[in-house]
Chain A
Amino acid sequence: MSGARDIGEGIVNPRLSIPGRLLLFVLVLFGLLPIYWLTATALMKRDDVFAPDRPLFPVDPTLDNLVGFFRNDALLGSLLNSIIVSTGTALVSVLVGGLMAYSLSKFRYRGRNAIMFMFLVGQLIPGALLLISLYLMLSSAGLLYTYTALIVAFTTFTLPLTVFLLKGIMDALPDEILEAAKVDGLSRTATMFRIVFPLVVPGLITAAMFAFMRGWSDLLFALTLAGPDKQTLPAGLTQAFIHEGTADWPSLMAASLITSLPLAIIFILLQRYFVSGLASGAVKG
């Protein structure tokens, strides 16, 4: 019960007062009730959802809505497209962005600040501003309605993200590692591929997953550059449900749940990589 340390702990992490607890309760409800409703609706029978005395929880849960997603060829196609395009985007972003990040982190040359500025500002450009020019460019290159078109378009926002994420991680690599490699007679290329990149594998995976998630979530480019055969899930959901209006909310919520699930899984994995990246002794040198 005694000691300055306990007092300090209490000040830094005070107990919550009753009004504080109430406020927390309300805000947590605001955060989590919609998630509950998404899941509950996906598990409800259609008749229950539209009944006048409709229940607030799935009294008689069903998997029909979730199964229905996998019976819908258009949505399944979109799912496959999402996997291909998001993976492609992640690979391109990390490959190109990894080199860029290493360059910005460990080298100094004329134009370095200009390049950094370009990416800093570049990540703030809304996709809609690039949309028309990208459309015309891809169209004249004969790439419209291909996976390549989407990967190119997604890279506009994932590249700055991966560059800055990886630069931050590489900044933490002590320069002594590079000096040692040099003394040992390793070439610059070998140092990069055999020393630096292996050390930041958790970072590379994290960056790849972030890029994957951003690509997975985009709607604007998916809606305009991919066409019906190559569109990803966000566009697929919009096409499949938006014109039906209120017709089939349980199916839409089930499809939304399935669309969100990979991101939740990745996030759980991502947290572990974050931790391991920070905890690994090798990086501390």
Chain B
Amino acid sequence: MAGTPAPATTGGTTTTGTTTTGTTTRRTTLSARDSIFGFMIALPAVLVFLVIAIYPLLSSLGTSLYDQSLLRPERSFVGVGNYATVWGEFVGHVGTTLTFAALATVFPVIIGVTLAMLLNARIRGRNVLRGLLMLPWLLPGVVVSFLWAWIFNDSYGVVDHVLSLVGLPGISLLGDPVGAMAAVVIAKTWNSFPWIMVVALAVLQTLPGEQLEAATIDGATRFQRFRFVSLPHLLGPVTLVAVLEFIYNFGNFDTVFVMTGGGPGDSTTTLAVSLYQLAFGSYELGQASAMGVLWLVLLAFVTGGYLLLNRRLERS
């Protein structure tokens, strides 16, 4: 279950909430003591999150400046030395990560939206189908990876077996650099399409029937109804989940790690796998942290884009 649908439209983007707007009765009757109470019950979560997420994020900045290994207790300051060491590797893995993240976003979006459109039609058993199609999303990432590794297995995999049954040569995806990338993208696509389908289906089911009727009366074809009525409604929510999916894929670890271990060679080594290997394979915590900081900078741009989009959609 990799991409849990994060509630996308719960943005921290409203105006500073005091009584100035006074849109609800609640706001106008909030006393100063209410505010203090509100703040007090927020404190546990804020403190927990500061300690276990924000502080670790910042402290990796510090670690990245030291030559620090899991094998030695002491560490020595090396300044930006670690950055110089990992830079070449980082650049290579960014390409791999972007390729994986982009492909594993585009395909689930296409399949998810297509399925939503099809399941929105009048067909028998569509609720059962919708429920069953959630299964790929429910499975833990590790299971998804093992399953597809088994399906694509070079010696006994069912894909090669079926191909041989109809007289075609096997494809041995996992042994080939491009094939391995294709295999992990297929696995992640299979894992991710259901929640995009669910989001798209929810949008389609709230679509104003009057608009579709009016369009039909005005002589719109089926494609025109999709293009000018359904699509504009889908665009916002689907773009939002697509960006979220991209961000999650950008940090994906289990799909790639279990299926290919980053190989063959380093053809599928994403940033998360590379960071893990540096830290727990080579025990180079300093270098791994430097890799992490470079990654964080990149991620900040993507996340910034998401937040801007989120804000724009909330206003509209």
Contact = CB atoms under 8 A, between A and B. Distances in A.
Interface of A: 4, 7-8, 10-16, 20-21, 23-24, 27-28, 30-32, 34-35, 37-38, 41, 49-50, 54, 56, 96-97, 99-100, 102-104, 106-137, 152-153, 155-156, 159-161, 163-165, 167-168, 175-176, 178-179, 188, 192, 210, 213-214, 216-217, 219-220, 223-224, 233-234, 237-238, 241-242, 246, 249, 252-253, 256, 259-260, 263-264, 267, 271
Which secondary structure dominates where chain B touches chain A? Answer: helix
Contacts of A234: 140-142, 254
Nearest to B222: A14
Taking residues whose C-beta sits less than 8 angstroms from the other chain, chain B's interface range is 35 or more
Given A15-B122, A133-B56, A115 B143 contact: no
Nearest to A220: B253
Given A56-B162, A246-B156, A34 B147 contact: yes
Interface in B208-225: 209, 212-213, 216, 222, 225
A216 B207 CA distance: 36
Given A15-B122, A120-B10, A234-B254, A30 B111 contact: yes
The 7 A-B residue pairs with the shortest CB-CB distance in the complex, in nearest-first order: A126-B251, A107-B38, A116-B12, A133-B56, A100-B45, A175-B26, A217-B140
Contacts of B111: 27, 30
A219 B258 contact: yes
Given A97-B45, A168-B7, A129 B292 contact: yes
Interface string B1-45: 110101100111110111100001111011000111111011011
B216 A128 contact: no
Contacts of B193: 31
B118 interface: yes
A111 B39 contact: yes
Contact of B150 (A31, A175, A252): A252
A168 B26 contact: no
Contacts of B27: 108
Given A27-B114, A136-B63, A164-B10, A11 B35 contact: no
B190 A31 contact: yes
B36 A109 contact: yes
Contact of A103 (B38, B119, B216): B38
A7 B214 CA distance: 11
14 contacts: A12-B209, A13-B121, A112-B42, A113-B17, A115-B12, A126-B250, A128-B276, A129-B296, A132-B285, A133-B60, A188-B37, A219-B254, A237-B146, A259-B140
A117 B12 contact: yes
A113 B16 CA distance: 7
Contact of B299 (A111, A126, A161): A126
A189 B38 CA distance: 10
Contacts of B248: 126
Given A24-B115, A108-B27, A129-B57, A263 B139 contact: yes
A120 B212 contact: no
Interface of B: 1-2, 4, 6-7, 10-14, 16-19, 24-27, 29-30, 34-39, 41-42, 44-46, 48-49, 52-57, 59-60, 63, 111, 114-115, 118-123, 129, 131-136, 138-143, 146-148, 150-151, 153, 155-156, 158, 161-162, 190, 193-194, 207, 209, 212-213, 216, 222, 225, 244, 247-248, 250-254, 257-258, 271-272, 275-276, 279-280, 285, 288-289, 292, 295-296, 299, 303, 306-307, 310
